[in-house]
Each structure stands twice: as C-alpha cells, then as structure tokens.
A and B are shown apart, each in its own frame.
Chain A
Amino acid sequence: MTAPLPEAPLLEARGLAKTYLTPRTAFRPPGRVAAVAGVDVTLEAGASLGLVGESGCGKSTLARLLLRLVPLSGGSIRFAGQDITDLSERAMRRLRRRMQLIHQNPSAALDPRLTVMSAVAEPLRIQGIARGRALHDRVAALLAEVGLPGDFLHRHPHELSGGQKQRVCIARALALEPQLVVLDEPTSALDVSVQAQILDFLGALRRQRGLSYLFISHNLAVVRQVCERVAVMYLGRIVEEGPAAEVLERPQHPYTRALLASVPRLGVAGVAAAAPGDPPNPADPPPGCAFHPRCLVAEPACRTTAPALNFARGEDHRVACHVAARRGLPEMTETT
C-alpha cells in the first residue's frame, strides 16, 4: 500500500467491551458472559481489516459494537475523527448512512415480498435522498454497478440465486454511499464458484469507491485474499494482529498457528489436529490466557496472568502471548 496516510483513522475503538447478563432460569443461576473483553481496533480510510476466529469468539459482537448496534459495556469509538461513544440514537441514524453492514445469509436479509427495486430503494427513501424518477435511475445505476441486468429491478428474492441476492444486498448497502462497510461472513452461505465472483467484485468495489472494509470470516484463505490486515480473536480478545501476509505466513501466537495448521489444504493428505479440546465456554473462561488449556507451549504464567497485546516481529505485528513475547516461537514448519 502506497496510499498517503490520512490524518485520522476512519474508525478507532479503544477498550471495547460487551458483557451480556444471562438471566436466572430453573436450571442455572444468573451469569455474565464477556463476549468482547477489551478490544482495540484501528481501521484507516480505504483499508481492509479481516477479523477471524471460531464461533463464539466475539467477532460478530465486535462488529455490532463498532456500528453501535448494541449498547457498549465499556470503551470508546471514534468514527471519522468524531467521538460516537455516547452519540444519541438520532445522531447515530444520520451517521449510519456512512457505515453499512452486509450479512452472511442474503436470503434472510431480504424481505421476500419486496422487489429488488423496493429493497434497494428503501434506504434512499428513508434517508430522504431521492424520489420518483431520480430514485428509479439511482437504483438502476446501483444494480448495474453490482453487475445485475436492469430487468432484475422487478424481480423478487425467490427468483434470484444466492450470489445474485448477495449482490442486491451489496447494492442496497452502497445506496447511501458509505465510507465503512462491515461484511459479516459475506460468502459463507455461497458455493465456492460464486464466492470467487463475489470476492473479486468486492475487491474491485473497494478500490473504485475508496471504501473501508471490516471483513469478518472464519475462512483464513478468504481473508488472505481480501484483506491487507488481519486480527485473530479468541474468546473475546484479539490475540494477534498485523499485516495479513505477516500474520498468516509467519504467525506468532500458538492459536493462530493451530488455526492455520488445522485448515485442510488442497491436494494434501491428512490434517494436523493442532489444538486439542474445544473452544472454551465464554460464560466460564479459563483464568490467565484463555488459550492455555489447549496450548502446547503453555507455561505456569499462562495459567494465572492474561498476556497483553504487545509488539512482536517489528512495529506492525502484535501478539498476546507470554511465550512468543519473551523468546519467540520457533519458525513454523509446513505440516503435511
């Protein structure tokens, strides 16, 4: 990336936290679930950050916090230089045209009774941006931009394939000309041949419109294709963060390494079971480093003290691991 650095990042969050209280039921006492526990996120204008991790790690909650779709339990958020932590709902609604969310399942994100025209026109109408002929022309232009033919305007979702539905959702998100687009597993419900088309298209779109992406995915190979930077989450915290090529080719955190080693590779027989056990229950997190019960290099300190996210391997690559921070881990070897 050689683009000149803007003065302030588009999105900057410090110490974000979300704790859910689980009510008392006949079967269990009330409890607290720390879905996101003190996370910092910085996203430069025009950049793309991938957020990876397994189910329950808090990546989707983090995205919703950043868009202020759920109330924060702690921390602060700045968007385009403005502190939006305590912004009123009214003010947030005006701001939301600049930040859009694309969901995993396009079939669930579209109202089955609305035509493509109505679905894409809805945000324009709600924000009072266009009416009548101008509205129609604007929607037609958006459809053309996402690569759908003009006669799709009057179709309903059930007449579209999964990939076409996701393009409609993208057109709807673009309607308000956002700066930030949060994509929550945008291709996970799609077949691989369609996924490749959508990823390609999303990349071109970002370059043309200068968008910033926060790209949530469980698929490391997809993130490697789309994102310049990547943050790896485990149980509500970021455990490793840096340039995508750095993190995914020279991972420092034992969890990142286990994730990478677990991905079955094309044409390679066998797969290494690199992290024993299951991801922990967020309602009952292990003390110290949350990964220590599954970690193959854990030390006594890991059982008591949670490691901070510190620099490793230069300015740009941070890792939250006692062992990696002190002596570094040996170079990772390709597992076969």
Chain B
Amino acid sequence: MTTLLEIADYRLAFDTFDGTHHVLDGIDLRLDAGETLGVVGETGCGKSVLARSLLQLNPSPPARVVSGAIRFRGEDLLRLEEAALRRLRGRAIAMVFQDPASYLNPLLAVATQMEDAIRGQDSAAGGRPRPRRAARALAAELLSAVGLPEPQRLLASHPHQLSGGMRQRVLIAMALAGEPALLVADEPTTALDVTVQAQVLALIDGLVRARGLALMLISHDLGVVSASCARVAVMYAGTVVEEAPTPELIARPLHPYAQGLIAAVPDLGRPEAKPRGMPGSIPSLLHPPSGCRFHPRCPLASERCRVEKPLRRTLLPGRSVACHHATP
C-alpha cells in the first residue's frame, strides 16, 4: 500500500485574548490509499480541528501551526500556497460535515449549487469550466451514485424541500465530483436519525469500497467508527493516546483513557454490563496538565506521568499506545 497521508508531529495552537490554547500536541497519523481510519474522542479533544487541518480550513488567526508536517502524496500541505491548496480542496481531498443544512445555500436550487461546485473544480484544476449542461449531467450521475432516486426532480428542488438524510447525500455527491482519493467526514451522521444514519453509513461504506477511497471519519460515537473504519485513533486533549485495528481496540483497549471511554458506552448487545463513568472532566487546553495530559484522571498515574509526556510506542503489531504504564 502506498502512503496517502502522513501527519508528523503536528502541533497547532490557538492564540486568543486569554492566551495560547495548545489544541493539538504532536499528532502522528498515517493513512494508506483505500484505508479507513476513525478518529474518536470527546468534546474538545481536537478531532475536528485535526480534520479541518487536512484542508487548512482552520482560520488563522487564531490558529497557528507550531511545528510538524501534513504530507499528502509526499507534499507538505502546511507549505503550500493558497492556489495550490485550492487545487487539492474538494478534488484530491474532499470533506463532508456534521450539519448538511448549513453547507447548502437555501436560496439556490440543488442543480445550481452542484454545477457551481463542479465548474469551480474545473477552474481550480487549471482548465476552462465545462458548460452548465455538461456539469448538470455529471450532477445527475453523482446523485444516482449516492442512491437518490429521480435525480432530475431533485436537481430542481431547493434544500428546504429535502430531508436531512437527502441533504447529506447531496453533499456527499458534491464531494465525489472531484474524484477525491481521500474523504474526510466530520461527524457526518450526528445530525441524523438512527435509521437514516444507518443508510448514510452504508452509502459511505459502499463508496469507499467501489471507488477505493481512503476515509478519515471523525466521530464521538464508537459504534459509528466500529461500523465504518478498520482502524481507529483515540484522541484526548489534543493527543492521540492509542491507535489500533477497531475490533481489537473495542475488545481490549490498552490506554487507560480508551478503557474508560469504552466502559462508559451503554451497549445494547450487553445490557447486563453497566456503563461506568470516568471521574473528573476534560482539562483546559490553555493550561494543559504537565506530562501526560490524562494523568489527573488516570487510575494508573505515577510521578513519571506528571513530569514526562509519554510517546506513542508500538506494543503489539499495528497497535500503539501513549502511556508509560500500558502493557500488551
């Protein structure tokens, strides 16, 4: 497998009036072509900021890259000019977001918005935009590809006439227009009902297989990540604390935070297992804890954890953990 994306020691800070928030603290992740990676964590762990970093969508200021590299096909995105980034955005790397309604213009027909997106990508690629009629034909094709019946009728509708699930499908169709190699999906089903969520997850799964897409799925829901991703990275307070094949992480988490997170999820399949809460709350990123950022809440914490930041080390094949005390 060829490496598609490589994030190396990526640090990002937000400069605000209160001071500097250390939002991402040395992220290392790799994604091969056609691979699926889930990024899970609770509110404020930095997972969405990380996702937006891949397209350089974090407004700067306040965002400031402190160090590191994000290499896509070997090219460091952090050093690209705006024009070069525009060629990547929506083409090689496409993104779908949590709330589909806010990414569609309520005043324009679906057709207009899809044609504009397709033609915009033609220009970004350096060519002349294709004629509207050709763009519309492609739009109809893409709507069929995401399982929407009667594409012509849909193209003539406005966003308010569509359900939440249909809107998210329209946005996925637009994301496919540039034939991306990597799809970044940030909580793509969180705003949807569970029966519709199942449809959209099945769609993403089918597209990943049929088109050989690589997928980076950001979610707070370990069930959603289990359904869609072969590998998972668990984030806590701006760091990746554990990375593993998804079934292995769920069956036997090695990092104390991952253990706590999984034990807190109520599982329909095992109603007798009572979910357990985790003491404490997430730390401030303005003054993050010294050493391991999880140490104030960790049952295993020792003096070393208060002083020395644990580096992620490989404990088992394909599994790495950032903890001084974790054992395979």
Residues of A within 8 A of B (CB): 54-55, 161-163, 191-200, 218-222, 224-225, 245, 248-249, 258-276, 278-279, 294
With a cutoff of 8 Å between Cβ atoms, the chain A residues found around residue B230 in the complex are: 269
Residues of A within 8 A of B198 (CB): 261-262, 264, 271-275
Residues in chain A near residue B271, CB distance under 8 A: 221, 224-225, 245, 248-249
Known: A193-B260, A269-B227, A278-B165. 5 other contacts (CB 8 A): A225-B266, A249-B271, A259-B194, A266-B250, A271-B227
Q: Are B202 and A273 in contact (CB under 8 A)?
A: yes
- Residue pairs across A and B with Cβ atoms less than 8 A apart, 8 shown, are A191-B43, A193-B42, A193-B260, A200-B276, A264-B224, A266-B226, A271-B202, A275-B195
Do the beta carbons of B163 and A222 come within 8 Å of each other? no
- Report B144-195 residues with CB < 8 Å from chain A CB: 163-166, 193-195
Q: Tell me if B107 is interfacial: C-beta within 8 Å of chain A.
A: no
Q: Which of B197, B220, B250, B268 contacts A220 (CB 8 A)?
A: B268
CA distance in complex: A264, B222 (Å): 8
Main secondary structure of the interface of B (DSSP, over half): helix
User: Which 5 pairs from chain A and chain B are nearest by CB?
Assistant: A197-B277, A264-B223, A267-B250, A262-B198, A221-B266
**How distant is the Cα of A296 from the Cα of B319 in the complex, in angstroms?**
42
Closest residue of chain B to A219 (Cβ to Cβ) is B266
Complex: how many Å from CA A259 to CA B246?
Answer: 24
Q: Which residue of B lies closest to A264 (CB)?
A: B223
Chain A residue contacts of B199, Cβ below 8 A: 273, 276
Do A222 and B266 touch across chains, with their CB atoms under 8 A apart?
Answer: yes
Instruction: Give complex CA distance A279, B224 in Å.
Output: 21
- Report yes or no: B224 in contact with A270, Cβ–Cβ below 8 A: no
Interface size on B, residues (CB 8 A): 46
Given contacts A193-B260, A225-B266, contact A200 B201 (CB under 8 A): no
Question: Which residues of chain A are within 8 angstroms of B251 by Cβ–Cβ distance?
Answer: 267
Contact B226 A225 (CB under 8 A): no
A183 to B11 alpha-carbon distance, docked (Å): 41
CA distance A161 to B282 in the complex (A): 9
Q: In the complex, what residues of A have CB within 8 A of residue B250's CB?
A: 266-267
B196 CB → nearest A CB, Å: 6
Pick from B269, B277, B281, B282: contact of A200, CB below 8 A. B277
CA distance A222 to B226 in the complex (A): 19
Measured between beta carbons, the chain B residues less than 8 angstroms from A219 are 266
Closest to A255 in B: B195
Give the docked Cα–Cα distance between A276 and B43 (Å): 31
Q: Which residue of B lies closest to A160 (CB)?
A: B281
Q: How far, in whole Å, are A259 and B196 apart by their CA atoms in the complex? A: 10
Q: Compute how far the CA of A197 lies from the CA of B279 in the bound complex, rounded to whole angstroms.
A: 8
Taking the complex as formed, is B275 at the interface, i.e. its CB lies under 8 A from any CB of chain A? yes
Contact B42 A278 (CB under 8 A): no
Q: Which B residue's beta carbon lies closest to that of A189?
A: B43
* Interface pair A278/B196, CB less than 8 Å apart: yes
On chain B, the residues within 8 Å of A200 by CB distance are 274-277
Q: Does any Cβ of A come within 8 Å of B264's Cβ?
A: yes
- Contact yes or no, B195 A266, CB < 8 A: no
Chain A nearest CB, measured from B109 CB (Å)? 16
CB closest residue in chain A, given B219: A264
